[in-house]
Amino acid sequence: MVRQGEGDSVKPETIIGIVSMLVAMVLYSLGAWGAFRSKAMRKKDVLFLIGGVIFDTLGTGAMWVAAGGRFLTDLHTMFALVAYFLMLALTIAALWAVGWAKDKLAGLLAKFVLAPWALWALVFVWGFLQRPGK
């Protein structure tokens, strides 16, 4: 991740974004796969998802700053925002289901949790495969 014309310097925002996205991926994965395997959203799964949303938000913000606030024009960013909002909606629904003991909803969310996670994971890998400056 070298900016052209500046030797080996890497923007701090880029480093924060990358680390935050890696942490988000781990937390999202723990929450999504934990819920899917147990066939119900549990409190710990929701906590992992909340942590994922927090780090995803931090990473997205850092990438936006690193890109000079002009990253809404490419296909990757559009899919990333869709994946982010799907994970956010899932997390809010899971928080509600677990917090108010909506067992049927918790079971339904656990059944479909891998769909938004898979989109998020695909966009995550896509972002790491992109080369700076393209």
Identify the three-state secondary structure at position 3. Answer: coil
Q: What is the pTM of this model?
A: 0.87
Domains of the chain, residue spans: 12-125
**For 52-61, how does the pLDDT look when each residue is reduced to its tens digit (9 = 90+)?**
999 999 999 9
Q: What is the pLDDT of residues 14-26, one digit of tens each?
A: 899 999 999 999 9
- Residues 54-81: what's their mean pLDDT? 87
Tokens of 5: 């014309």
Residue with tokens 């909506």: 102
Whether the CB-CB separation of 3 and 9 falls below 8 Å is answered with yes
**Across residues 77-81, what is the average pLDDT?**
90
**Phi and psi dihedrals of 41, rounded to 5?**
-75, 130
